[in-house]
A and B are shown apart, each in its own frame.
Chain A
Amino acid sequence: MIQAKGIIKSFGENHVLKGVDVDFYPGKTNLIIGRSGSGKTVFLKTILGLFEPDGGSIHYGEEVLGEMSKQRRKTLRQEIGMVFQGGALFDSMSVAENIRFPLEMFSTMTEHEKDARVKFVMDRVRLEGADKLFPSEISGGMQKRVSIARAISMNPNYLFCDEPNSGLDPETAIVIDQLIQEITHEFGMTTIVNTHDMNSVLEIGDHVVFMKEGHKVWEGTNDQVLGSTNADVEDYVFKSKLFKQVRTALRK
């Protein structure tokens, strides 16, 4: 479980996070949603430890991130998998080498065990036969799957995804969303997904946190989001024509 308690973060005069309290649960896909500029990405990077908070604390289980030793922080990072918005695959490495990289760097596995683990995660994200291809030779959807495979190769306790289906067609986006939810449930990871895609929210939002102007203004589940009476959530969710029609249909 990850807990964010009273997180404050500013960049000069720009106060991005103004005291955010959220609990992220293991075995669930925890989604952070909100408009661009609401502080989602800064919040995610603060939880990850890429930004130091100006106030508040991040708790990984019983441990406080800010109080961890350098060595402990380093080992904690090996318990974290991250799927970046653009994939962030190493373009000089093949698909298999990308997935194998964390194992080469940190694991004490034998070569045979590493091969088996790479094959397992590649099969798990349905990337069979793509091992020798390079990131520039595969589609955006495949790149995201490679990124997920790399993120889970070390069997992490925590999975972070920053806009995992941006730039993907709706069908592929659903495949990626479902994959994230499946592996979260299967491996019992604490998954935090940063998104502004309402389809993702409805598809995989076991726990949804809505942020606005550096504050958490609502939290609930994907089943509750459409029925929320919070004005900010309503305004965000029912902005598109499609969701306006959905609301009309629901009210009928």
Chain B
Amino acid sequence: MITNFFEGIGAYALLMTKVFRRPDRWKLFYRALVKEIQLLGLDSIGIVVILSVFMGGVVTIQTAFQLSDDPLIPTYYIAMATRESITLEFSPTVVSLILAGKVGSNVASSLGTMRVSEQIDALEVMGVNSASFLILPKIVAQLLFNPILIIMSLFLGLWGGAMAGDLLGLVPFEESIMGYRLEFIPFENAFYALIKTVVFAFIIGSVSAYSGYTVKGGAVEVGVASTNAVVRSCLAIILANYLLTDLILTS
């Protein structure tokens, strides 16, 4: 099992060396990139919107539940704690985990299907670097669009938190805004969130592409690869999250 793990890491690294090559035709690369941004990015907006608004609401309610017993704590501190939670952890990590499920399974199953139906062989026979042609646009699309999704998620999460606080009478909307602005260091937390997002985007794109691209067999194996893509991406995100948090916040 340990040997398999290290063989897998080696195969993944070798695949990445094939992926990051200059595209044969930039025109086809840009065309594929636009398509991937549509498929992997724009089509994920809906789920990110819903998730972020409700996530913000839940974080506000839970924070209020913890802090509201103490009359000495001003209610806008609830909003401030919500801001920190959403910015530092919930938006970049939870949304990336959800995207790993949605996008990762899509990437792995589409590449796996191409592999078992010999479409990847067809590209190789033509002399096309199939790894670069198929995977690079997917990774670049994730790297470009996931930060946009996360920034959107940050705003929506904060808005959802403020709305939930106001509607449930926990924190008035104006106090939420005050709390969000309290001791806010522009760019520091957002910078941390975006670094995490970019790393997670690379993990989602590359790990799920590796799972799909290396499929051997038929339809059952494509299904297994799709599941593996989600599991591996999520595990890698959780591990990277720990390392990045330790590196950035404690240094």
Contacts and interface: CB of A to CB of B under 8 A. Distances in A.
A82 B25 contact: no
B125 A80 contact: yes
A189 to B, nearest CB: 15
B126 A88 contact: no
Given A104-B25, A105-B24, A105-B25, A77 B125 contact: yes
Nearest to A147: B122
Contact of A104 (B28, B119, B124): B28
Contact of B28 (A78, A80, A91, A105): A105
> Which of the listed residues B25, B114, B119 has the most CB atoms from chain A within 10 Å of its own CB?
B119
A50 B124 contact: yes
Interface string B123-140: 011111000000000000
B25 A84 contact: no
Interface residues of B, number: 15
B31 to A, nearest CB: 9
Interface residues of A, number: 23
A105 B126 CA distance: 9
Contacts of B174: none
A91 to B, nearest CB: 7
Interface string B102-120: 0000000000001001110
B121 interface: yes
Nearest to A154: B126
A104 B24 CA distance: 10
A78 B122 contact: no
A105 B24 CA distance: 7
Given A80-B125, A105-B128, 12 more contacts: A48-B125, A73-B127, A74-B127, A75-B127, A77-B125, A82-B122, A84-B118, A88-B119, A90-B122, A91-B117, A104-B28, A105-B25
12 contacts: A74-B127, A75-B127, A77-B125, A78-B127, A80-B125, A84-B121, A84-B122, A88-B119, A88-B121, A104-B25, A105-B128, A160-B125
Interface of B: 24-25, 27-28, 114, 117-119, 121-122, 124-128
